[in-house]
């Protein structure tokens, strides 16, 4: 293998490792949103329709897009580790200091509220199921 081929192989390998690293970071950054979506899907699929169930799903449906928008508006200022990169004062951040926390909490609360209906709908059967699962 010539020097040029070796350099090309290292460059391709470096780029593919860079893409893998980017996917890992993206997964870490969006994992909480995906978890909330899965929780909401479970509540929507198995929940018994009631006022509380509809309220929970509506709250989640209203806050989830704002949560995603806040995360996207933060852009490069977002980091997994706490560090101050630069101050974001545009979009949702012009009115709310911590929109990711506000809308993320509301989305989870709505999902859990809708999921709570499962306990009322299935009673002891759901309690037995919960005792057999991890979370």
Q: What residue segments make up the domains of the chain, in order of their start? A: 30-132
pTM of the predicted protein model: 0.69
Give me the pLDDT at residue 6, please.
45
**In terms of pLDDT, which residue wins out, 28 or 71?**
71
Q: Which residues contact 72 (CB under 8 A, 6 or more apart)?
A: none
Query: Residues 91, 73: contact at Cβ < 8 Å?
Result: yes
**Average pLDDT estimate for 108-117:** 87
Average pLDDT, the chain: 80
Region of 75 (left: φ > 0; alpha: ψ -120 to 50; beta: rest) is left
Mean pLDDT of 14-42: 75
């Amino acid at each position: 293998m010539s020097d040029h081929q070796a350099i090309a192989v290292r460059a391709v390998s470096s780029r593919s490792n860079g893409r893998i690293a980017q996917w890992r970071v993206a997964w870490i950054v969006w994992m909480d949103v995906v978890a909330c979506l899965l929780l909401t899907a479970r509540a929507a699929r198995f929940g018994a329709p009631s006022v509380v169930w509809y309220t929970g799903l509506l709250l989640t449906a209203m806050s989830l897009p704002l949560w995603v928008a806040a995360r996207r508006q933060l852009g490069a200022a977002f980091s997994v580790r706490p560090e101050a990169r630069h101050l974001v004062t545009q979009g949702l951040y012009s009115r709310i200091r911590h929109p990711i926390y506000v809308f993320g909490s509301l989305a989870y609360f709505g999902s859990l509220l809708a999921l709570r209906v499962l306990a009322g709908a299935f009673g002891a059967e759901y309690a037995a199921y919960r005792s057999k699962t991890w979370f």
